[in-house]
Amino acid sequence: MSMALYVVTLALGVSTDIRYIPFVCALLNIGITVPSSPGYVGLYQFLLVYLLSIFGVPKWEGFTVSILYHASWYIPYTIVGFVLLLREHLHIRDIQKLEAEEPGE
- pLDDT tens for each residue of 55-96: 999 999 999 999 999 999 999 999 999 999 889 888 888 878
Burial 10-19, CB ≥16 within 10 A → b, else e: eeeebebeee
pLDDT at res. 104: 59
Confidence of residue 14 (pLDDT cuts 50, 70, 90): very high
pLDDT at res. 58: 94
CA atoms in the 13 A half-sphere facing the CB of 1 = 14
Q: Is the pLDDT of residue 30 over 90?
A: yes
